[in-house]
Amino acid sequence: MQFDQVTVIGGGLAGSECAIQLADRGFAVKLCEMRPQVSSPAHHTDHLAELVCSNSFKSTRLDSAAGLLKAELERMGSVLLDCAHRAAVPAGGALAVDRVTFSELVEAEVAARPNIEVVHGEVTQIPEGHVVIAAGPLCSPALSEEVMKLVGGDALAFFDAAAPIVDASTLDMDVLFSQSRYEEQGSGDYLNAPLNKEEYEAFIGALTTADRVVLKDFEGGDLFQACQPAEEVARTGKDAIRFGAMKPVGLTDPRTGRRPWAAIQLRAENKEKTAYNLVGFQTNLTFGEQKRVFHMVPGLENAEFFRYGVMHRNTFVDAPHVLDGTFAVPGTGVRLAGQITGTEGYMEAVATGLLAALNTYAEAIEVAPVELPRVGALGALVGYATDPATVGYQPMHVNFGLVPPLEDGKRRSKRDRYQAYADRALEALDTYLARRSDLFGGDRS
């Protein structure tokens, strides 16, 4: 190998998976975890791989993106997924764990590898050599400053303010119309949901009175100063948002031939236009209230959500514009993993930790990096997160809105379509893994 020592910063899900995978490939790994010397407002223990929110790793069903991701990680040899299965508690169709048992199992896996040295204490400077930064969404101020120097101040965000993303196949295209402002009807990059005055006033009434998520103490006012949620804008006056995100100027509703009273614009999230973002509607409403309120919008009555809007404290980089396809900072020995890449979710963190290890190993033995099939859950997420064409990058978890559509053109129910996505993905992954025995099998020494 060209090098055999790696420092992994962060002992969460991504960092733990990364360290274990690197150790299994012959590296001497220094795993740095700031706790217990320094903690974060979200942590309650000193353990590796602490689950700071829910104890659920989401669905195990293959006809869900979360379930497909687990199937992919199982094929790729994820150790933390195995720990999760061993720590599982009854949860119906989901994989939920006893969080204490899970952390203990992960720590046992780390301890069983003598080439992993766990170092407790805050990292305030990025060390020399090959480094994986997996410091999580609450990266310490000192390390955040170092990351900012590495990627540029404009490329590091401290708040996650994301608008909902909906499934294009569930939108009413008899109501929505395609038009960018001041362009010809039927052309442009946006879909528009038109509202008359009565519909607008009912929508604003629901938006401003809906239940909101209670922010944690460490988020508080700074979050709202950084990015106003749509419901807060609407509270400043009944027409405030009609002169902002819902302004109808330059639009013509083809059903009436007139400009609507207000309109919500939807922007495609991918080239295939299978998923759309509700432009300007970052929100702090609860998920249930988002579904109720946005279903009041003409054309969105039956919309299904790939991602609900969220607002919370979250340190992440503008991955599509500062990282390469392996989540490395070009020209450095630094690679990122976990939520600091802008990928969202427990299993997504595990997956990016695994990929960081594999790509570091590929670099060391001078073979091609991992290029997962884009039809898979993880391949599609990595593609989205590292595509320079991605606009307005915000944290994203795996979802079927990111995968290319099926090519056979058959009409299917949603469940059958999702199952077909999964079947296609696993077939493609199996073919890829068989071809890449240099990374996924055989003698790694």
d(CA 199, CA 132): 50
| Per-residue model confidence as pLDDT tens digits over 191-207 | 999 999 999 999 999 99
> What would the pLDDT profile of 142-151 be if each residue is shown by its tens digit?
999 999 999 9
Question: Which token pair is 252?
Answer: 């013509």
Q: Where do we find the tokens 């528009």?
A: 192
Q: How many residues are present in the chain?
A: 445
| Cβ(402)–Cβ(380) below 8 Å | yes
Q: State the sign of the Cα–Cα–Cα–Cα dihedral 403, 404, 408, 410.
A: positive
Torsion of CA 345, 348, 353, 356, to 10 degrees: -130
The predicted structure's pLDDT at residue 442:
46
Largest CA distance in the chain: 72
pLDDT of residue 160: 64
Binding site residues for FAD, as ranges? 10-15
pLDDT of residue 16: 98
Average pLDDT over residues 424-436: 98
Higher pLDDT, 94 or 39: 94
Rounded CA gap, 337 and 303, in Å? 32
Band of residue 444 on the pLDDT scale cut at 50, 70, 90: very low
Asked whether residue 53 carries a pLDDT value surpassing 80, the answer given is no
The answer to whether 210 and 285 are in contact (CB under 8 A) is yes
Confidence band of 226 (pLDDT split at 50, 70, 90): very low
pLDDT of residue 218: 45
Of 90 and 128, the structure prediction assigns the larger pLDDT to 128
Mean pLDDT of 339-348: 94
Which of 143, 146, 140, 133 lies closest to 18, judged by CA?
A: 133
Q: Which residue has the tokens 């100063």?
A: 225
Whole-number pLDDT of residue 40 = 66
Binding residues: 10-15
Place of tokens 């027409």: 239
Q: Residues 68-116: pLDDT tens digits? A: 999 999 999 999 999 999 999 878 788 989 888 999 999 999 999 999 9
High-pLDDT (> 90) share of the chain, %: 71
Mean pLDDT of the chain, nearest integer: 91
Report the alpha-carbon distance of residue 354 to residue 378 in Å, rounded: 11
pLDDT at 56: 87
pLDDT given for residue 23 in this prediction = 98
Domain range annotation of the chain: 5-161+312-440, 165-308
> How far is residue 50's CA from residue 48's CA, in Å, rounded to a whole number?
6
The pLDDT confidence band at residue 138, using thresholds 50, 70 and 90, is confident
Q: Six-digit token pair at 218? A: 């460490």
Q: How far apart are CA 375 and CA 426, in angstroms?
A: 9
Contact 209, 281 (CB under 8 A): no
Contact by Cβ (8 Å): 373, 432: yes
**Domain 5-161+312-440 annotated CATH 3.40.50.300:** no
Split at pLDDT 50, 70, 90, the class of 216 is low
Q: Is the pLDDT of residue 220 over 50?
A: yes
The bridge status of strand 56-59 relative to strand 334-336 is unpaired
CATH tag, 165-308: 2.40.30
Q: Are 132 and 8 in contact (CB under 8 A)?
A: yes
State yes or no: pLDDT of 273 exceeds 90.
no
HEC profile for the chain? CCCCEEEEECCCHHHHHHHHHHHHCCCEEEEEECCCCCCCCCCCCCCCCCCCCCCEEEECCCCCHHHHHHHHHHHHCCHHHHHHHHCEECCCCEEEECHHHHHHHHHHHHHCCCCEEEEECCCCCCCCCEEEECCCCCCCHHHHHHHHHHHCHHHEEEEEEECCEEEHHHCCCCCCEECCCCCCCCCCCEEEEEECHHHHHHHHHHHHHCCECCCCCCCHHHHHHHCCCHHHHHHCCCCCHHHCCCCCCCCCECCCCECCCEEEEEEECCCCCCEEEECCCCCCECHHHHHHHHCCCCCCCCCCEEECCEEEEEEEECHHHHCCCCCECCCCCEEECHHHHCECCHHHHHHHHHHHHHHHHHHHHCCCCCCCCCCCHHHHHHHHHHCCCCCCCCCECCCHHHCCCCCCCCCCCHHHHHHHHHHHHHHHHHHHHHHCHHHHCCCCC
Interval 382-418: pLDDT, tens: 999 999 998 888 889 999 999 999 988 888 998 999 9
Q: Any idea which of 153-162, 214-223, 389-398 has the lowest mean pLDDT?
A: 214-223
| pLDDT of 43 | 64
Cβ-in-10-Å burial (0-12, 13-18, 19+) of 164 comes to buried
Beta-carbon contacts of residue 332 (< 8 Å; ≥ 6 apart): 150
**Which whole number is the average pLDDT over 245-270?**
93
Closest CA to 215 of 206, 224, 204: 224
Cis peptide before 404 (omega within 30 of 0): no
Instruction: Please compute the mean of the pLDDT values over residues 351-371 and round it to a whole number.
Output: 98
